[in-house]
Structure 1
């Protein structure tokens, strides 16, 4: 399967919300517990446009396979950005995340970040494996973090050093 990666645009917001809502509704892999709208995605994309980047991956027919985001890290200062990755259910392990990360890594360097922070639910084995396979290294674990729906999870933070 050929995967095309590119910057996300306004025409992608509805498909991004639909993809993300399927992941949220399935549960267990994201800290998000409430579904999101197209307008919420649009507001996230519009936030910090000079310090963030949003990429989508699609097949040759234009079907959204996944998306990835980086933006300023509130916890780690100006040298770090946070990352989030969402791949369509049933599409993991097919190279979508790898294709997205190549674009995201370049964008992070271009935005003058020195490292990328990924914080993943400890029960998200696929997410942990994905970031580990990209070269992220664990640097801390937060125990008993409450999600917005009251569920308690541990969260693992991983760090990817960008070459300077």
Structure 2
């Protein structure tokens, strides 16, 4: 498995993968290329968007962390990181999320973030279990979501 930073040319593959998650009922947010570029790859608050690729270069998953600003839509404290993790349905349970988080954690530490928040749907049991396994702990509940925090400082 190759782990590398996402570039604009990856937007189409990421968009396709997110579309499969929408079709599988595992995502409700937008999945188009413009959204991918603005939210994950070229976000001015972005710290890192990292991909996991199989031996043939196929996308297994990606993870993004951005620095939060005041008044963000999730209510995450200003200056924290906000993380999103997306793994292709066929790539589950292969260590993709763990490998992605190694790179994300290192980037968050280098950016001197005090903490990272994951905003996980209350019914997303897989997502909650993943973040718990990575060391995130529940610290608040908001708008039908479980908010887990990973403290860096």
Instruction: Please report the TM-score for the alignment, with normalisation by the length of structure 2.
Output: 0.89
In structure 1, C-alpha distance between the alignment counterparts of 2:36 and 2:121, rounded to whole Å: 21
Q: Is the 8 A contact 1:120 1:128 kept in 2?
A: yes
User: How far, CA to CA, are the matches of 1:30 and 1:38 in structure 2?
Assistant: 15
Matched residue SS, 1:24:
helix
Deviation string 1:69-89 (CA, Å, 9 cap, x unpaired) is 0002233111x1100000001
1:66 equivalent in alignment to 2:33? no
Q: Which segment is superposed worse, 60-69 or 36-45?
A: 36-45
Aligned equivalents of 1:40 and 1:124: distance in 2?
22
Q: Which has the higher contact order (CA 8 A, sep 6+)?
A: 1
Structure 1 portions without partners, runs of 5+: 146-153
- 1:156 equivalent to 2:139? Answer no
Q: Hey, what does 2:35 align to over in structure 1?
A: 40
* Matched residue count: 146
Aligned 8 A contact 1:31 1:121 in 2: no
Moved over 2 A (4+): none
- Tell me which structure has the larger Cα radius of gyration: 1
